[in-house]
Structure 1
Amino acid sequence: MTILVTGATGQLGRLVIDSLLERGAEPSSIVAGVRDLTKASDIAARGVRTAVVDYDRADTIAAALEGVDSVLLISGSEVGRRTAQHQAVIDAAKAAGVGKLVYTSAPKAPTSDLVLAPEHKATEELIAASGIPAVILRNNWYTENYAGNIAQARETGVVAASVGDGRVASASRKDFADAAAVVLLEDGHLGQAYELGGDVAWTYDELAAAIAEVIGSPVEYRALTAEEHAAALESAGLDAGTVGFVTALDAGIRDGALADTDGTLARLIGRPTTPLVEGLRPLA
C-alpha cells in the first residue's frame, strides 16, 4: 500500500509522516506531497519519496498519484480558495483509482455555523459525490493555535477574547496526526466521519490558568463583547476583514461550535489526548 500525504511540510503533515513511520509503515510506501521540494530534504533523507503537489496545478497532483492507493488530503490554508483546491485533488484521486481518501475537516462541518465550516462542508460533499471510499476526520482546534495567546499573556498578563463561557475541546497536532495515521493504515474506517476532539473541553478561564502555569506568572481571562473585541483588534492595526474573521471565530466558540468531545480521538489513537497544559508547554 502506498500513501500520499499532501501538505507534507506543514505542521500537521510532518507529524503524520512521523506517526506513519512510528507505526511501522515503510518509508518507501509514503509519498510526501509538497509545494517546494527544497523544504522536504529532511523528509527525503528518511527514505520517504517526495513529489510536488500544488493544489493549484492539477498536473502535479496527477503525477504524484501514480501508484498511490490511499491519500490524506490535508485541508489547504488559503481560506476562500480551499474548495476549488480540494476539488483538484479529489478529481485526480478519482481518476487515479485511489481506494481510500482521508480528509481533515472541521467539527460538525455539515451543520456548523463556524465561519470556517462552509468550505469543509463543500469539500465533504465533493468527496461524497466522487464516490471515492473515504474517511472524514473532523478535527477540533489544535492546542498549538494558542501560541499567540501565550505571547500576549507573557506581555500583558491577559488573554482577551469574545468567546464568553464557550468551551474548546482542543488536542495537540500530534494527537490528530496519530488519528490520521491510524485510519490510513488500518482497515475498517471507510465510510466513517469521526468527530475528533480532546478529552477535556476547557473554558478560557482554564486556558488562562494553563498559560499562567507554563509561563510562571499570573494570567487572567478578560471577557470582551464582540464590539469591544473588534475595537481592540482595529486599534492593533488589523484590517476589517481580519477583524470580522477573528470575531466570527470567537462567536462560534461562544455558541459551542468547538465544545463537544466524546472520546473518539482517544479511542482511535489508543491513549488519552494531550492535556491542555502539556500541549501549551512546548509553545512557552
Structure 2
Amino acid sequence: MIVITGASGQLGRLVIAQLLETVPASQIVAAVRDPEKVADLAAQGVQVRQADYSQPDTLDRAFEGAEKALLISSSEVGQRVAQHRAVIDAAQRAGVKLLGYTSVLHADSSALGLAEEHQQTEAALAQSGVPAVVLRNGWYHENYTAGVAHAVANGAHYGSAGEGRISSAARADYAAAAAVVLTSTDDQAGKVYELAGDESYTLKEFAADIAQQSGKPVVYTDLPEADYKAALLHAGLPAFVAELLANSDAAAAKGALFDNGRQLSRLIGRPTTPLSASIADALPR
C-alpha cells in the first residue's frame, strides 16, 4: 500500500498518475483534505481517505496499512513544520517502512526563505526514526511559465534574479522521480536526492525564448527585490505569494535555484523536460 498525501494538488495528482502505470489502483491511497475533489481517482479504483495536516486525528486512518508513503509538503507557509510533524508521527505509529518527503533543492544550505521549514522538517524526519528518503525538488518550470501569457501581452517579464541561473524542470518530472523512488526495489531509506533540470537559464534567456516562440517582443526587466515584490502586489497577488516569489528570485540571483548534478534525469531514466517545451505549452492559443 502506497499513501500519497496532498493527493488533490497538482504534484500529488501527477504522482498518482505515474504510480497507476505500474501499481494496481487498489494499492494506492489518495490522502486528501476534501475527498470530493478526487472523485475521479476513486472512480479509477484508487482508495481515497480523508487526511488534514492540521487535524492529526484524521491521519492515523489515512496511514492504516501503509507500507510506503509520500509526504508532499504543505502549501501553508508558516504552518508547515507542525503539519509535517503530525504526518511524520502518524507514519511512525503506522509502522511505515519508507516515508518520502518533498523538500527543496539544497535545503541544508539554501538562501531561499522557504528553506527553513524544510530544514526543520528534515530534522524532524531524522529524529523520528522513520525510514525516510528526501526528494529535494528544484524549481518547477510552471513557476515561471504561468506568467507566459502575461509576458506576451505586456512585452515584458519582470523578476529579481539578475544573472542567476535556474535549473528548473517540469512538475511532471518531479512526480516521475517520486514514483520511481516509491516503487524501487532498492533500499531508499536514508537517501537524499538533489533534483533539478538538465539545463539552466537566466530570466533574460527565459524572456528571449518566449519572444522567439511567440514571435512578439518580450524583454526581461530586472528589479530590486523590494520593487519586484511591490509590482507583484500591484498585480493583485496575495502578500505572502509576492513575498515568496520576490525572495525566491533574489535567492536565485545568488545561485539558490541552480544545480548541475543531473540526479533527476538519472533517476527517471530520461532527460528532463526542456523549458522551451513548457513555454510552448503555456503560449496563448
Return the TM-score normalized by structure 2.
Answer: 0.94
What whole-Å deviation, never above 9, does each CA across 1:135-185 have from its counterpart, x for those lacking one?
100000111112342132122110111110011100001100000000000
Distance 1:269 1:237 in 2: 37
Alpha-carbon distance in structure 1 between the residues aligned to 2:201 and 2:157 = 14
How far residue 210 of structure 1 moved from its aligned partner, in angstroms, is 2.2
CA–CA separation in structure 2 for the residues paired with 1:237 and 1:77: 19
- The aligned residue for residue 247 of structure 1 is 246
- Tell me the distance in 2 between the aligned counterparts of 1:270 and 1:171: 14
Q: How much identity, in percent, do the aligned residues show?
A: 51
**1:83 match: secondary structure:** helix
Q: Distance in 2 between matches of 1:235 and 1:21?
A: 42
Give the superposed CA RMSD: 1.6
Taking the TM superposition and a 5 Å limit, the aligned residue runs for 1:47-62 are: 47-62=45-60
Partner of 1:84: 82
Q: CA deviation at 1:227?
A: 4.3
- Secondary structure, in 3 states, of the residue corresponding to 1:66? coil
CA separation of 1:46/1:230 partners in 2, compared to 1, >3 Å: closer, same or farther?
closer
Query: 1:144 is matched with which residue: 136, 142, 145?
Result: 142
Which amino acid in 1 is paired with 2:149? A
Amino acid at match of 1:25: V
Offset at residue 213 of structure 1 (A): 3.8
CA distance in 2, matches of 1:246, 1:40: 29
- In structure 1, the residue corresponding to 2:48 is in which secondary structure? strand
Aligned to 1:75: 73
Cross-structure match for 1:66: 64
Match runs of 1:1-284 below 5 Å: 2-22=1-21, 24-186=22-184, 187-236=186-235, 242-284=241-283
Match of 1:103, SS state, is strand
Distance 1:283 1:113, change over 3 A: same
Segments of 5+ residues of structure 2 without an aligned counterpart are: none
How many equivalent pairs are there? 282
For the residue of structure 1 that corresponds to 2:147, the secondary structure is helix
Deviations 1:79-132 (A, max 9, x none): 111111001000000011100000000011122121110000000000000011
Deviation at 1:282, TM superposition (A): 2.2
Q: Secondary structure at the match of 1:76?
A: coil
Checking the alignment, whether the CA contact within 8 Å between 1:94 and 1:132 is kept in structure 2 is yes
8 Å CA contact retained: 1:33, 1:51: yes
Counterpart Cα distance in 1 of 2:90 and 2:155:
49
Distance 1:113 1:239 in 2: 22
Alignment partner of 1:194: what SS? strand
Contact 1:196 1:261 in 2 (8 A): no
Task: Give CA-to-partner distance per residue, 1:165-221, whole Å, 9 cap, x none.
Answer: 011100001100000000000023221100000001111112112222443422111
Q: Structure 1 159/64 Cα, relative in aligned 2: closer, same or farther at 3 Å?
A: same
